Structure 1
Amino acid sequence: MDATKPYNIRKIAIIGAGPSGLATAKYLLAEHSFSQIDIFEQRSTVGGVWNFSPETSRVTKPQTSPYGPVEEPQGSRDGELIFPSPMYMALETNIPHDLMKFTDLPFPRGTQLFPPHEVVKQYVEEYANDVRHLINFSTQVLDVRPLGSHDSSEVSCHEVWRVKTRKSGSQLEKLQDYDAIVVASGHYSVPFVPDIRGLAEWNEDYPGAVTHSISYRRPDHFRGKKVIIIGNAASGTDIGSQIAVVCAHPLLVSQRNPSDFLSDSGTEARRKEVPEVVAFLPPSEGYRAVQFANNHVETEVDAVIFCTGYLYSHPYLSCLNLSPQTPDGIRMQHAYRHIFFTPRPTLAFVGLLQKVIPFQVAESQAAAIARVWSNRISLPSKAEMDRWEEQEIAMKGAGRKFHIMGFPLDANYINEIHAWCLQAELGTKSEKLPPLWGGKERWIRERFHIIRKAYSDRGAARHRVKSMEELGFDYKKWKGEEEQAAKGSLQGQDEKATNA
């Protein structure tokens, strides 16, 4: 084997035609190094989680295991099987379109600053046009397995992966072999519902009272009801703001830690922060009663919504001897830079990270995959890749925070991947460079929570807001003021030195 060119990859399968899978396909195509790129998508359209369906997923309460069968459709419509997503009616992005976009496609002129989900879906449809011919729609991946034995203590660069698929509505299964696999199927299909004391029994006593944000569609169902929301990240804050307008006041928001996300000013007075829920009590201890960590018991609770996130789950990879996900599903393991499966780097993941700018992070990861698999940049040794994971665990812990970034870690990550890709041997004229963030992108990213709050505080008038400048967030003005202040400071120091 040529140590300088360890990979001989020609055929690649991508699982998922959401934004991450589409970005990956574009960067792989731009390498002009691969003879076959197939995308498998279980829905009949692109977009992944940006596909809205009124149908909802069935949720087990509690739900703490990532293991289970391949996702089952929840009925059909117009002959197409339905795979519900977490998308709800009034969802708007919490990222301004200046950063939400892919680097090679701006949002249409006149798009509201924080686009609604249907606009993002239409945008992703347009982005997919260049790779639509690669997509096998309505095709579910049932199993992915490497052929041949492998010692997990060594890195295997030459692999044959057998992929088993099935078209929707058919019982016929198809087997195809590939040199490499990209998993871009997301991590929003298996909701995490913690095993709180009494929850299973409470759910049986009061059917339908407990839900997860994956099943939320609109606030009308909660009109006039006493509601508890558990969790205060993006979905908990946004869903809470919608429900607070119609539910019995106040909306009770149970949280362990303060939220990074700001609710709009119009609903703050309708919300009440309460401690962590520690028990769902039996009828003998109160009607629809819930106990908090401070021992307070709330009775006559009509609805509890868990906004507690999701588990990493890849049932089609269950045959791997060394699992790429931890047993509890709260994070992935052996994934160098959150991308490459260390023992078998011909298996890669796109879209594992959370609290990041998703489309541009996907582009960064796709660019790295394309260059590694075309032998233009190299992965370090297995020992070094293992050491990277150990260092990440030492910094973030081995739990749920492992894939969580936030600012400035996500900005640094994007630029680190860019720098890595620049080490590549000369490519073709059509090669795609990954994103590179400058001062403006970092400035927006650092402030987008307060930009989002200023936007939400406009109420219905927010739909007319097209730019940050309309809300008073002007990067050019800010930069000019900073430069002027710095110049004044230097002049003051010079004068002080002269007088001395």
Structure 2
Amino acid sequence: MAYRFLLAEKCFNTIDIFEQQASFGGVWNYSNDPVGTIDIPQTNPHQPLDEPIWQSVSDGTGIANGAQQATFVSPMYEGLETNIPHSIMQFSDMPSLEDHQLFPSREAVTQYLEDYGEDVRHLVSFQTQVMNICKTRSTAHLVRLKNLQTGTVYEQIYDAVMVATGHFTVPNLPSIKGIEEWNQANPGVISHTKLYRRPGPFTDKKVVVVGNAASGTDIASQIGTVCKHPLLMSQRSKSMLAVAAGYKEDVPEIAEFLPESHGTRAVRFADGRVEEDVDAIVFATGYYYSFPFLSSLESKLISTGERIQHLYMHLFYIDDPTLAFVAFPTKIIPFRTVEAQGAVVARVWANRLELPSTLEMSRWEEDVIAERGAGRAFHVLSFPKDFDYHKELVDWATRATGRGGKMPVRWSAKDRWARERFPAIKKAFGEKGNARHGIKTLQELGFDYDAWLREQVP
């Protein structure tokens, strides 16, 4: 967590952390069956602040004690496991995940984050929603806050603000020909993975899952245990994470939702195939970047919601580097990336590192656009880009003047070796079925770095 690097600089008078959930973990906090629906299609990233859902607090025995706490709809679902081995996923200064299965459960990660944050709990204002952030005349940041328990709204002023809200709030549910009319005729059939919790509701149903990245592949494997076979896996390209399974059939993307004159609940795929009597369609099509609490800047930060605009190194707002965004690139190893990002931000704000000129930072953004485009691919750091990015941040942090602070850990050769094999490792883990829960090391899956290293010697 980036705040540890701010604390380690020992030069900031005040460090406050605001969290709208009732505990550590952010997106890892599980929310019960979500209330409400998602717009279909959902193509607008400019959404209002999330409204809290009030749930009774248990006394630890499963009995409600009368108290209520604010929760927010999260994309966590029952049976979720990480798609990163714990040896690389965990923070460098707390390796306790090694006691769990190789790809830990969401419950294990949630507890891990709770334990990791315990020593700074006194700095955190839980159940506090950031309503708006804007600049004052003195160029400081005026932060408007709401205590969700009391309803009290108040303001505080800060010299710098770090945004670490994640990007799993506003679902992307694309506009496909006929989808709106089809949804009106068949309410409740179309949904998004953000609202998925368990496979039970899909029992004996004909199901289409749209999207085959990590969540789509995992959720399809769960639904595939109860739905009518084959589950139709709609995808633009083959997934590196897919496990060979008899329950599913790969089909192209949906080209059109057909009116009733073409059959009951019918869709046409890009290859012309028509499928009728579809009972459920789950979109695993990701999320938009969205910052409703930055209303004065939102139009400059996001337009289509596919990326954050005007950022240098996926980190600093170019027009005002006292505003930083951590953990927003995708296809990364998030905990270690946040450590490296936190080290750089802390040193820059402590005046121990210099930023390039505004012109140079803008050129960096233009160079990335020239390489990857101005859309969703801008923040995608698939291997080895994620390792290169981490190395660049660590190298930058080491150039800080003076002493002190907290240094992020560099990736080892073994880490890089494992990262390169993630898809194969995850596949092998999934193919173990229930036996996977007892597997804690790469070696148990047949991935032995030392053996591989010996084989490289001529």
Common topology (TM > 0.5): yes
Q: Hey, what does 1:162 align to over in structure 2?
A: 142
Q: What SS does the aligned partner of 1:225 have?
A: coil
Computed over aligned residues only, the root mean square deviation of the Cα atoms, in angstroms, reads 1.3
Say whether 1:250 aligns with 2:224: no
Q: Hey, what does 1:314 align to over in structure 2?
A: 291
C-alpha distance in structure 1 between counterparts of 2:317 and 2:116, whole Å: 28
Say whether 1:42 aligns with 2:31: no
Q: What amino acid maps onto 1:294 in structure 2?
A: D
Q: Hey, what does 2:64 align to over in structure 1?
A: none
Say whether 1:344 aligns with 2:324: no
Q: Hey, what does 2:220 align to over in structure 1?
A: 240
Q: What amino acid maps onto 1:287 in structure 2?
A: T
Give yes or no for contact 1:356–1:406 (8 Å, CA) kept in 2. Answer: yes
Q: What amino acid maps onto 1:99 in structure 2?
A: I
Give yes or no for contact 1:42–1:139 (8 Å, CA) kept in 2. Answer: yes
Q: Hey, what does 2:406 align to over in structure 1?
A: 432
Q: Output one character per residue of 1:284-317: Cα deviation in whole Å (capped at 9) or x when no partner.
A: 2210011111222110000000000000000000
How far has the Cα of 1:320 moved from its partner?
A: 2.3
Q: What SS does the aligned partner of 1:323 have?
A: helix
C-alpha distance in structure 1 between counterparts of 2:453 and 2:252, whole Å: 42
Alignment match of 2:441 (pick from 467, 486, 489): 467
Q: Hey, what does 2:183 align to over in structure 1?
A: 203
Alignment match of 2:246 (pick from 269, 274, 278): 269
Alignment match of 2:281 (pick from 304, 311, 326): 304
Alignment match of 1:454 (pick from 390, 411, 428): 428
Q: What SS does the aligned partner of 2:356 have?
A: coil
C-alpha distance in structure 2 between counterparts of 1:179 and 1:353, whole Å: 25
Give yes or no for contact 2:81–2:103 (8 Å, CA) kept in 1. Answer: yes
Q: What SS does the aligned partner of 2:232 have?
A: strand
Q: Hey, what does 1:402 align to over in structure 2?
A: 378
Q: Hey, what does 1:136 align to over in structure 2?
A: 125
Say whether 1:193 aligns with 2:182: no
Q: Name which one, 1 or 2, has greater alpha-carbon Rg.
A: 1
Q: Hey, what does 1:421 align to over in structure 2?
A: 397
Q: What SS does the aligned partner of 1:228 have?
A: strand
Q: Hey, what does 2:61 align to over in structure 1?
A: none
How far has the Cα of 1:109 moved from its partner?
A: 4.7
How far has the Cα of 1:479 moved from its partner?
A: 1.1
Q: What amino acid maps onto 1:54 in structure 2?
A: N
C-alpha distance in structure 1 between counterparts of 2:439 and 2:407, whole Å: 31
Q: Output one character per residue of 1:14-54: Cα deviation in whole Å (capped at 9) or x when no partner.
A: xxxxxxxxx11111000111010111111110101111122
How far has the Cα of 1:133 moved from its partner?
A: 1.1
Give yes or no for contact 1:330–1:399 (8 Å, CA) kept in 2. Answer: yes
Q: Output one character per residue of 1:36-90: Cα deviation in whole Å (capped at 9) or x when no partner.
A: 0111111110101111122326311111111121111234333112202100000
Say whether 1:73 aligns with 2:47: no
How far has the Cα of 1:396 moved from its partner?
A: 0.8
How far has the Cα of 1:230 moved from its partner?
A: 0.6
C-alpha distance in structure 2 between counterparts of 1:225 and 1:272, whole Å: 15
Q: Output one character per residue of 1:349-369: Cα deviation in whole Å (capped at 9) or x when no partner.
A: 001110110110111111110
Give yes or no for contact 2:142–2:156 (8 Å, CA) kept in 1. Answer: yes
Gapped regions of structure 1 (runs ≥ 5): 1-22, 149-157, 486-500
C-alpha distance in structure 2 between counterparts of 1:286 and 1:466, whole Å: 49
Say whether 1:282 aligns with 2:259: yes
Q: Output one character per residue of 1:296-355: Cα deviation in whole Å (capped at 9) or x when no partner.
A: 211000000000000000000011286222x11011011100000000000000011101
Q: What amino acid maps onto 2:356 in structure 1?
A: P
The 3 A distance-change label for structure 1 pair 475 and 402 is same
Q: What SS does the aligned partner of 2:429 have?
A: helix
Give yes or no for contact 2:256–2:268 (8 Å, CA) kept in 1. Answer: yes
How far has the Cα of 1:427 moved from its partner?
A: 2.1
How far has the Cα of 1:146 moved from its partner?
A: 0.7
How far has the Cα of 1:260 moved from its partner?
A: 2.7
Say whether 1:33 aligns with 2:11: yes
Give yes or no for contact 1:312–1:332 (8 Å, CA) kept in 2. Answer: yes
Say whether 1:360 aligns with 2:336: yes
Count the aligned residue pairs. Answer: 447
How far has the Cα of 1:130 moved from its partner?
A: 2.4
Q: Hey, what does 1:374 align to over in structure 2?
A: 350
Q: What amino acid maps onto 1:393 in structure 2?
A: I
Q: Hey, what does 1:117 align to over in structure 2?
A: 106
Alignment match of 1:92 (pick from 71, 76, 81): 81
Q: Hey, what does 1:8 align to over in structure 2?
A: none
Gapped regions of structure 2 (runs ≥ 5): 58-67
Say whether 1:52 aligns with 2:30: yes
Give yes or no for contact 1:31–1:427 (8 Å, CA) kept in 2. Answer: no
How far has the Cα of 1:412 moved from its partner?
A: 0.8
How far has the Cα of 1:117 moved from its partner?
A: 0.4
Give yes or no for contact 1:262–1:450 (8 Å, CA) kept in 2. Answer: no
Runs of 4+ in 1 over 6 A off after TM superposition: none
C-alpha distance in structure 1 between counterparts of 2:99 and 2:408, whole Å: 26
Q: Hey, what does 1:329 align to over in structure 2?
A: 305
Give yes or no for contact 1:146–1:162 (8 Å, CA) kept in 2. Answer: yes
How far has the Cα of 1:108 moved from its partner?
A: 4.3
C-alpha distance in structure 1 between counterparts of 2:147 and 2:55, whole Å: 14
C-alpha distance in structure 1 between counterparts of 2:315 and 2:124, whole Å: 22
Say whether 1:291 aligns with 2:268: yes
Q: What SS does the aligned partner of 1:331 have?
A: coil
Q: What SS does the aligned partner of 1:37 have?
A: coil
The more displaced of 228-237 and 161-170 is 161-170
Give yes or no for contact 1:232–1:307 (8 Å, CA) kept in 2. Answer: yes
Q: Hey, what does 1:441 align to over in structure 2?
A: 415
Q: What amino acid maps onto 2:7 in structure 1?
A: L
Q: What SS does the aligned partner of 2:157 have?
A: strand
C-alpha distance in structure 1 between counterparts of 2:414 and 2:300, whole Å: 40
Say whether 1:478 aligns with 2:452: yes
C-alpha distance in structure 2 between counterparts of 1:421 and 1:140, whole Å: 31
Q: What amino acid maps onto 1:291 in structure 2?
A: R
